[in-house]
Each structure stands twice: as structure tokens, then as C-alpha cells.
Structure 1
């Protein structure tokens, strides 16, 4: 029986935590009986790519669509990362093994997931990025601990994504490989900028495989 585990889900730009809660209903395996889920909502902030409109946003985004070469706003990203780390710290302090902590996110939440797990000082169970991108420049990689480099990354991206282009996702595995981080990359033909059940079913088995090994 898997021990206590924690799954943090980070939504996309303009979305909310509660709107994503139905995701947890797809995780029906008994291994998830002791899983605590968290679906936080991003604070409201002006977003540059939407002409300064105020909406739920984890950090600022300069342009849409996001390409492999889009500019990054690292200072607002790092503030968001600190908040994610505070949530993880609290969960670990409450008795959850870091190996049973998983961070998952879609789009902007996926970019934040990647930054959060790479900049967390300990090895976590995993980080799962859906339709995301690498939201920082390579200078940040100096801050990544050897422990953080052991955290496995799952990356899922739709081939016909017009919002965060497939090329932005495709740039991630070579970037991660260069810094010594393992990444499993899955491309989904016909999938636009969204998440489908096939991706979530795979996520369930991916987390389950890691839960059993760490319990």
C-alpha cells in the first residue's frame, strides 16, 4: 500500500483551481487512497500578452503564441516559485515523504511546474508538464541542486497547439538533458492547447509507478 502522497495541480492562465478539481476523479487506483490533492488558484495580475488585462496569472507572459524563443519574465516567475515551494514545504513538514510529492500543471501552470521542481532543493516524486514551456533562461540552471536534477519530468504536448507551440515544448528535453535532468516527452497528434483523458490516464500510471517504488 502506497504511503501518504501529495499532488499539486497548477492551472493555466485565466483559469481557476476549483475548475480543475474533477481531474482527481480520474485517479481511481487504490494507490491514490492516501493522496492529498491541492488545486490552488493563481492571484489576479495584469498580463502583458493580453494588453495588461487583469486575470488569474502565476507570472507575467510577454507574448502569445509562445515559441521556443519567447522572452521570459524571470522575476515574477521566481516569486510564483517561492509560493509553490512554501506549499511543498508545508506538506513535507506535515509528514509526506518528498518522493511522494508530485507537481503537475497545464500551460502557464506547466511552465511554473518545471521551474518549481527544478529549483526545489530536494528530489521530489516528479513534475508533469502539459503544453508548457521552459520559462527561464539558462543562467538559472546554476541554482539547480544535484538533488533536484534527480526529479523525473513527464512532458506532454499537443502537435497542433497554437497557443504554446509544439516547438516550445520540443525545446525542453534537449535543454533538460544538457543540465542532466531526465525527461519523458510524449507528443499527442491532433491535440490543440488542452488536456485530454489519454494524457491524464498516462499521468495516473506514471505517478503510480513512482509511488510504489518510493513507499
Structure 2
């Protein structure tokens, strides 16, 4: 199970006007993902990144049978939800952004869909909702127009385009305003164009 280990940067939680929660990818760390926040046009912002135990949120593909990723997946969801709840004690949800890359992008969308609300914005850099088959009955709430960005390559080796499109449809049915950007032959990374798009959409 994951420890609750949060790395914080930026403004103090008790004094900040906004927050960005950042979720790292497989094999990475909280320290790796936090510098991403510097690319966005926002001030007086509390930054928080949880650290996955062994640097992995769940052991196998995000499209594997659910049992293959448990209990790690449920523990990861719990960690992120706890961080959102504790942040929301000081900063309203509509001023909290949630972002992630790769495995962290999948976790970003999964937590947001399970606990949909009017967030300030959501950005998934190469990710989709989690599961061999998506179980829409576990997604609850309404995004009330929250803006969501999903970016990926058209032939990404880890995240099929079909799952990104399916995720977009589900999130839109839950009231999200989703902008999907698909890049031909793009490597498994975050591009400057994606950062610019997120700045335009969310900030």
C-alpha cells in the first residue's frame, strides 16, 4: 500500500489562492513532476505532489484486469482523494487543478471521474481512464463545466487512442468540457504545444 508522502512547493496551503496537484509517472518521483507547474501562468499557488511507493502507482498496464493492479490502484486513488480533500479544507475545489503524466495522467482522470466536481481544471498528459473495461457505475458526480485537457500521441505505445476517445466521451457525459489534442508520431513525453494549450485552456 502507498504511504501518504506529499512533497509541497510554492505558496503555503493556508495562504494560497489556488492549488495544483501533480501526479508523476511510472518510475518517476514527486520531485520530477513538480517543476512542470513553473510552465503555467498562475500566482500564489500551493503545489503538492504525492510520491508513489516504489515510484509506481500500480504494477501493470492501466488497461490490465483490475485485479492485477490491486490493492495498489485503490490505495493510489485513496492517496490522491485524501490530498484533494485536505487541500479543499483551505482552497475551494474550483480553484484546485489536478494534473499528471502517463501513469499519473491515468490516475488523474480516474480520481476526477470517481469524484467529479467543479474543479479549476484537469490536465492529463498521455492518459485515459483505468481498467480492462471501463465501469461507468463507479464514476460519480458532475464536473459542472470543468475544463479538461487530454494530450497524447496517435500511436503511443502505452495509451491507445481508442481509450483516450472513450475517456473523453465519458467525461463529457459527466459535464466536463474536454479538449483532446492528438499528435502524429509523438514520443511518450510532454510537449511545449501541450503546455501552451493547457495555459490557454485552464489559465
Alignment partner of 1:157 is 2:152: yes
Q: 1:171: Cα distance to partner?
A: 3.0
Alignment partner of 1:91 is 2:111: no
Q: Secondary structure at the match of 2:179?
A: strand
- The residue correspondences of 1:5-154 to structure 2 (distance < 5 A) are 5-27=18-40, 29=41, 32-44=42-54, 56-62=55-61, 70-72=64-66, 73=69, 75-93=71-89, 95-120=90-115, 122-136=117-131, 137-139=133-135, 141-148=136-143, 150-154=145-149
Residues 100-141 of structure 1: per-residue CA shift (max 9 Å, x gap): 1111111110110011111226322222111112203443x3
Matches of 1:134 and 1:92 in 2, distance apart?
Answer: 23
Q: Residue 160 and residue 142 in structure 1: after superposition, are their counterparts in 2 closer, same or farther (change >3 A)?
A: closer
Matches of 1:121 and 1:134 in 2, distance apart?
Answer: 13
Matches of 1:112 and 1:13 in 2, distance apart?
Answer: 11
Aligned residue in 2 for 1:190: 185
Q: Residue 71 and residue 125 in structure 1: after superposition, are their counterparts in 2 closer, same or farther (change >3 A)?
A: same
Q: Residue 14 and residue 169 in structure 1: after superposition, are their counterparts in 2 closer, same or farther (change >3 A)?
A: same
In terms of fraction of residues, the more helix-rich structure is 1
Q: Residue 60 and residue 33 in structure 1: after superposition, are their counterparts in 2 closer, same or farther (change >3 A)?
A: same
Q: Which runs of 5+ in 2 are unaligned?
A: 1-15
Q: TM-score, normalised by structure 1?
A: 0.75
Q: 1:150: Cα distance to partner?
A: 4.7
Q: 1:76: Cα distance to partner?
A: 3.0
Deviates more, 1:155-164 or 1:111-120: 155-164
Number of positions where the alignment pairs a residue of Structure 1 with one of Structure 2? 185
Deviates more, 1:33-42 or 1:102-111: 33-42
RMSD: 2.4
Q: TM-score, normalised by structure 2?
A: 0.79
C-alpha contact 1:119 1:148 (8 A) present in aligned 2? no
Q: 1:176: Cα distance to partner?
A: 3.4
Q: 1:181: Cα distance to partner?
A: 4.3
Matches of 1:146 and 1:39 in 2, distance apart?
Answer: 24
Q: 1:164: Cα distance to partner?
A: 2.2
